[in-house]
Protein backbone atom coordinates (compact mmCIF):
# COMPACT_ATOMS: atom_id res chain seq x y z
CA UNK A 1 0.00 0.00 0.00
CA UNK A 2 0.99 3.62 -0.45
CA UNK A 3 0.91 5.29 2.94
CA UNK A 4 -0.39 8.78 3.64
CA UNK A 5 -1.67 7.92 7.08
CA UNK A 6 0.00 10.53 9.27
CA UNK A 7 0.65 14.26 8.79
CA UNK A 8 3.90 13.45 6.94
CA UNK A 9 1.87 12.11 3.98
CA UNK A 10 4.98 10.46 2.51
CA UNK A 11 3.05 8.37 -0.03
CA UNK A 12 5.63 5.72 0.86
CA UNK A 13 5.33 2.19 -0.38
CA UNK A 14 4.68 -0.03 2.65
CA UNK A 15 4.78 -3.75 2.03
CA UNK A 16 4.52 -6.53 4.60
CA UNK A 17 8.19 -6.27 5.58
CA UNK A 18 9.44 -3.10 4.00
CA UNK A 19 8.91 0.65 3.82
CA UNK A 20 10.30 2.48 0.82
CA UNK A 21 10.62 6.23 1.28
CA UNK A 22 8.57 6.62 4.44
CA UNK A 23 9.72 8.81 7.31
CA UNK A 24 8.69 6.24 9.94
CA UNK A 25 10.48 3.40 8.12
CA UNK A 26 7.74 1.06 9.37
CA UNK A 27 6.57 -1.86 7.26
CA UNK A 28 2.93 -2.75 6.88
CA UNK A 29 3.24 -5.60 9.38
CA UNK A 30 3.16 -4.54 13.01
CA UNK A 31 6.53 -4.53 14.79
CA UNK A 32 6.59 -4.12 18.55
CA UNK A 33 9.56 -3.57 20.85
CA UNK A 34 8.05 -4.38 24.19
CA UNK A 35 4.75 -5.40 25.73
CA UNK A 36 4.67 -5.53 29.51
CA UNK A 37 3.42 -3.92 32.67
CA UNK A 38 4.93 -0.47 33.01
CA UNK A 39 5.14 1.48 36.25
CA UNK A 40 6.50 4.87 35.24
CA UNK A 41 3.49 6.54 33.67
CA UNK A 42 1.42 9.07 35.62
CA UNK A 43 0.12 7.57 38.93
CA UNK A 44 -3.47 7.44 37.65
CA UNK A 45 -2.27 5.36 34.68
CA UNK A 46 0.33 3.07 36.26
CA UNK A 47 -1.45 2.57 39.57
CA UNK A 48 -0.28 -0.35 41.68
CA UNK A 49 -0.36 -3.09 39.05
CA UNK A 50 1.11 -1.18 36.15
CA UNK A 51 -0.06 -0.01 32.76
CA UNK A 52 -0.27 -2.64 30.02
CA UNK A 53 2.05 -0.93 27.58
CA UNK A 54 2.62 -1.98 24.01
CA UNK A 55 5.62 -0.11 22.54
CA UNK A 56 5.39 0.03 18.76
CA UNK A 57 8.65 0.22 16.79
CA UNK A 58 9.28 3.19 14.54
CA UNK A 59 7.84 6.67 14.88
CA UNK A 60 6.32 9.18 12.53
CA UNK A 61 7.72 12.12 14.51
CA UNK A 62 11.30 11.02 15.13
CA UNK A 63 12.74 13.61 17.53
CA UNK A 64 16.53 13.85 17.40
CA UNK A 65 16.83 13.57 21.20
CA UNK A 66 14.40 10.65 21.64
CA UNK A 67 15.01 8.63 24.81
CA UNK A 68 13.73 5.55 23.00
CA UNK A 69 15.93 6.23 19.97
CA UNK A 70 16.78 2.55 19.44
CA UNK A 71 13.16 1.63 18.82
CA UNK A 72 11.81 4.87 17.39
CA UNK A 73 14.44 5.45 14.72
CA UNK A 74 15.20 1.82 13.91
CA UNK A 75 12.77 -0.95 13.28
CA UNK A 76 13.90 -3.32 15.96
CA UNK A 77 11.63 -5.73 17.75
CA UNK A 78 9.27 -8.50 16.87
CA UNK A 79 6.80 -8.70 14.01
CA UNK A 80 3.38 -9.77 15.22
CA UNK A 81 0.23 -10.74 13.37
CA UNK A 82 -3.09 -9.05 14.11
CA UNK A 83 -4.20 -12.13 16.04
CA UNK A 84 -1.01 -12.11 18.10
CA UNK A 85 -1.49 -8.42 18.83
CA UNK A 86 -5.00 -9.14 20.11
CA UNK A 87 -3.54 -11.94 22.28
CA UNK A 88 -1.00 -9.50 23.70
CA UNK A 89 -3.84 -7.19 24.80
CA UNK A 90 -5.56 -10.17 26.44
CA UNK A 91 -2.37 -11.35 28.17
CA UNK A 92 -1.65 -7.91 29.58
CA UNK A 93 -5.20 -7.70 30.89
CA UNK A 94 -4.85 -11.14 32.49
CA UNK A 95 -1.58 -10.04 34.13
CA UNK A 96 -3.57 -7.39 35.98
CA UNK A 97 -2.83 -4.28 33.90
CA UNK A 98 -4.99 -1.32 34.80
CA UNK A 99 -5.26 -0.36 31.13
CA UNK A 100 -3.91 -1.17 27.69
CA UNK A 101 -1.55 1.58 26.64
CA UNK A 102 -0.55 2.01 22.98
CA UNK A 103 2.81 3.80 22.97
CA UNK A 104 3.69 5.59 19.71
CA UNK A 105 1.03 3.73 17.74
CA UNK A 106 0.36 6.37 15.06
CA UNK A 107 1.79 4.50 12.06
CA UNK A 108 -0.07 1.28 12.97
CA UNK A 109 -3.50 2.62 13.86
CA UNK A 110 -5.56 0.70 11.24
CA UNK A 111 -3.86 -2.56 12.32
CA UNK A 112 -4.52 -1.81 15.98
CA UNK A 113 -8.19 -1.35 15.18
CA UNK A 114 -8.24 -4.77 13.49
CA UNK A 115 -6.73 -6.31 16.64
CA UNK A 116 -9.29 -4.55 18.85
CA UNK A 117 -12.06 -5.96 16.67
CA UNK A 118 -10.75 -9.43 17.56
CA UNK A 119 -10.34 -8.71 21.26
CA UNK A 120 -11.50 -5.60 23.07
CA UNK A 121 -10.16 -5.60 26.64
CA UNK A 122 -12.52 -4.83 29.48
CA UNK A 123 -10.15 -2.20 30.88
CA UNK A 124 -9.52 1.36 29.63
CA UNK A 125 -7.61 1.81 26.38
CA UNK A 126 -4.98 4.54 26.30
CA UNK A 127 -3.77 6.29 23.15
CA UNK A 128 -0.26 7.43 24.08
CA UNK A 129 0.85 9.66 21.23
CA UNK A 130 3.56 12.14 20.31
CA UNK A 131 0.78 14.58 19.43
CA UNK A 132 1.79 14.42 15.76
CA UNK A 133 -1.39 12.69 14.73
CA UNK A 134 -4.18 13.91 12.50
CA UNK A 135 -7.92 13.78 12.91
CA UNK A 136 -8.34 10.93 10.40
CA UNK A 137 -6.02 8.71 12.41
CA UNK A 138 -7.81 9.53 15.65
CA UNK A 139 -11.20 8.92 14.09
CA UNK A 140 -10.19 5.34 13.22
CA UNK A 141 -9.75 4.43 16.90
CA UNK A 142 -12.22 6.90 18.42
CA UNK A 143 -14.77 4.32 19.54
CA UNK A 144 -12.12 2.36 21.42
CA UNK A 145 -10.12 5.05 23.22
CA UNK A 146 -10.95 5.93 26.81
CA UNK A 147 -7.87 7.93 27.72
CA UNK A 148 -5.81 10.24 25.54
CA UNK A 149 -2.25 10.64 26.76
CA UNK A 150 -0.98 13.21 24.32
CA UNK A 151 2.33 15.01 24.13
CA UNK A 152 2.37 18.68 23.32
CA UNK A 153 6.06 19.08 22.61
CA UNK A 154 6.41 22.43 20.90
CA UNK A 155 4.60 25.72 20.66
CA UNK A 156 7.30 26.94 18.31
CA UNK A 157 7.31 25.73 14.71
CA UNK A 158 11.02 26.58 14.49
CA UNK A 159 11.95 24.26 17.34
CA UNK A 160 9.62 21.57 15.97
CA UNK A 161 11.35 21.85 12.62
CA UNK A 162 14.83 21.78 14.10
CA UNK A 163 14.40 18.85 16.48
CA UNK A 164 11.57 16.85 14.89
CA UNK A 165 11.56 17.95 11.22
CA UNK A 166 7.91 18.93 11.61
CA UNK A 167 7.33 22.66 11.41
CA UNK A 168 3.59 22.02 11.44
CA UNK A 169 3.75 20.21 14.79
CA UNK A 170 2.09 22.96 16.88
CA UNK A 171 -0.90 23.17 14.54
CA UNK A 172 -1.23 19.37 14.29
CA UNK A 173 -0.93 18.88 18.06
CA UNK A 174 -3.59 21.54 18.71
CA UNK A 175 -5.93 19.69 16.34
CA UNK A 176 -5.20 16.41 18.13
CA UNK A 177 -5.96 18.00 21.49
CA UNK A 178 -9.21 19.45 20.18
CA UNK A 179 -10.23 16.01 18.97
CA UNK A 180 -9.26 14.30 22.24
CA UNK A 181 -11.08 16.87 24.34
CA UNK A 182 -14.21 16.63 22.23
CA UNK A 183 -14.15 12.86 22.74
CA UNK A 184 -13.32 12.81 26.46
CA UNK A 185 -14.03 16.21 27.94
CA UNK A 186 -14.25 15.01 31.55
CA UNK A 187 -11.68 13.04 33.51
CA UNK A 188 -13.22 10.14 35.40
CA UNK A 189 -11.38 8.24 38.15
CA UNK A 190 -12.28 5.16 40.15
CA UNK A 191 -12.15 4.91 43.93
CA UNK A 192 -8.44 3.98 43.76
CA UNK A 193 -7.57 7.11 41.81
CA UNK A 194 -7.10 5.29 38.51
CA UNK A 195 -8.19 7.18 35.42
CA UNK A 196 -11.05 5.54 33.56
CA UNK A 197 -11.65 8.26 30.98
CA UNK A 198 -10.08 11.58 30.14
CA UNK A 199 -7.21 13.51 28.62
CA UNK A 200 -3.70 14.01 29.96
CA UNK A 201 -1.47 16.45 28.11
CA UNK A 202 2.24 15.93 28.57
CA UNK A 203 5.00 18.39 28.05
CA UNK A 204 8.65 17.53 28.57
CA UNK A 205 10.75 20.48 29.65
CA UNK A 206 13.86 20.80 27.51
CA UNK A 207 17.04 22.84 27.97
CA UNK A 208 16.66 26.51 26.99
CA UNK A 209 12.90 26.08 26.61
CA UNK A 210 11.29 27.38 29.79
CA UNK A 211 9.25 29.98 27.90
CA UNK A 212 7.98 27.28 25.57
CA UNK A 213 6.97 25.07 28.52
CA UNK A 214 5.13 27.97 30.12
CA UNK A 215 3.29 28.87 26.93
CA UNK A 216 2.27 25.21 26.41
CA UNK A 217 0.98 25.05 29.98
CA UNK A 218 -0.95 28.32 29.59
CA UNK A 219 -2.43 27.21 26.27
CA UNK A 220 -3.54 23.82 27.59
CA UNK A 221 -5.04 25.08 30.83
CA UNK A 222 -6.88 27.94 29.13
CA UNK A 223 -8.34 25.80 26.35
CA UNK A 224 -8.82 22.44 28.05
CA UNK A 225 -9.59 23.22 31.69
CA UNK A 226 -10.91 19.74 32.47
CA UNK A 227 -7.86 17.95 31.13
CA UNK A 228 -4.85 17.03 33.25
CA UNK A 229 -1.46 18.56 32.58
CA UNK A 230 1.68 16.51 33.12
CA UNK A 231 4.94 18.40 33.39
CA UNK A 232 7.74 16.00 32.60
CA UNK A 233 11.30 16.67 33.59
CA UNK A 234 12.93 13.45 32.46
CA UNK A 235 14.82 15.00 29.57
CA UNK A 236 18.23 13.46 28.95
CA UNK A 237 20.25 14.07 25.80
CA UNK A 238 19.82 10.84 23.89
CA UNK A 239 19.86 9.91 20.20
CA UNK A 240 21.53 12.60 18.12
CA UNK A 241 21.35 15.34 20.76
CA UNK A 242 25.14 15.64 20.78
CA UNK A 243 24.87 17.25 17.35
CA UNK A 244 22.80 20.05 18.89
CA UNK A 245 25.01 21.61 21.61
CA UNK A 246 22.19 23.72 23.08
CA UNK A 247 20.17 20.62 24.02
CA UNK A 248 23.09 18.34 24.77
CA UNK A 249 22.68 18.66 28.53
CA UNK A 250 20.18 18.09 31.30
CA UNK A 251 17.62 20.68 32.34
CA UNK A 252 19.07 22.85 35.12
CA UNK A 253 17.53 23.28 38.56
CA UNK A 254 16.88 26.93 37.75
CA UNK A 255 15.01 26.05 34.53
CA UNK A 256 12.98 23.39 36.31
CA UNK A 257 12.01 25.68 39.18
CA UNK A 258 10.99 28.52 36.88
CA UNK A 259 8.41 26.31 35.17
CA UNK A 260 7.25 24.55 38.33
CA UNK A 261 6.77 27.91 40.09
CA UNK A 262 4.70 29.18 37.17
CA UNK A 263 2.48 26.10 37.35
CA UNK A 264 2.07 26.33 41.12
CA UNK A 265 1.34 30.08 41.01
CA UNK A 266 -1.35 29.51 38.36
CA UNK A 267 -3.47 27.64 40.91
CA UNK A 268 -4.33 24.99 38.29
CA UNK A 269 -4.79 21.79 40.24
CA UNK A 270 -5.24 19.04 37.61
CA UNK A 271 -1.56 18.64 37.35
CA UNK A 272 1.27 16.11 37.61
CA UNK A 273 4.76 17.47 38.12
CA UNK A 274 7.65 15.06 37.74
CA UNK A 275 10.52 15.28 40.20
CA UNK A 276 13.75 16.52 38.66
CA UNK A 277 15.37 13.24 39.73
CA UNK A 278 13.23 11.49 37.10
CA UNK A 279 15.89 12.38 34.54
CA UNK A 280 17.69 9.07 34.91
CA UNK A 281 18.42 6.29 32.43
CA UNK A 282 17.10 3.74 34.89
CA UNK A 283 13.55 4.83 34.00
CA UNK A 284 13.98 3.95 30.34
CA UNK A 285 12.45 0.53 29.63
CA UNK A 286 14.71 -2.29 28.54
CA UNK A 287 13.79 -2.95 24.92
CA UNK A 288 16.08 -5.94 24.42
S1 LIG B 1 2.78 6.52 8.70
FE2 LIG B 1 4.96 6.44 8.07
S3 LIG B 1 4.95 6.00 5.87
FE4 LIG B 1 2.86 6.62 6.45
S5 LIG B 1 2.77 8.81 5.99
FE6 LIG B 1 3.38 8.62 8.15
S7 LIG B 1 5.62 8.59 8.19
FE8 LIG B 1 4.95 8.23 6.07
Give tens-digit pLDDT for 76-93.
899 999 999 999 999 999
Name all residues whose Cβ lies below 6 A of ligand 1: 3-6, 8-10, 12, 14, 19, 22-24, 26, 60, 107
Domain at 2-283, CATH class: alpha beta
Task: Calculate the average pLDDT of the chain.
Answer: 94
Phi, psi of 57 (to 5 degrees): -75, 150
Judged against a pLDDT cut of 90, whether residue 106 lies above it is answered with yes
What is the pTM (predicted TM-score) of this model?
0.95
pLDDT tier for residue 287 given thresholds of 50, 70 and 90: very low
Q: What pLDDT is stored for residue 70 in this prediction?
A: 76
Pairwise CA distance, residues 134 & 141, whole Å: 12
What is the per-residue pLDDT for 183? 97
Mutate to test the pocket of ligand 1, among 2, 12, 109 (most ligand atoms within 8 A of CB): 12
Amino acid sequence: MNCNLCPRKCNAKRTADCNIGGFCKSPENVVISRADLHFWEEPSISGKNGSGTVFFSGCSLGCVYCQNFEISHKISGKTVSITQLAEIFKNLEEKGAHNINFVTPEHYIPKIKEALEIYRPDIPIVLNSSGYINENQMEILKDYIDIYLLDFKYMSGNRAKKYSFAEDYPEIAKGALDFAYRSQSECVFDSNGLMKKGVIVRHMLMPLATNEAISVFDYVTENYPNAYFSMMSQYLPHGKAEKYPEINRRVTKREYEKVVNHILESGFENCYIQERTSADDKYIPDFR
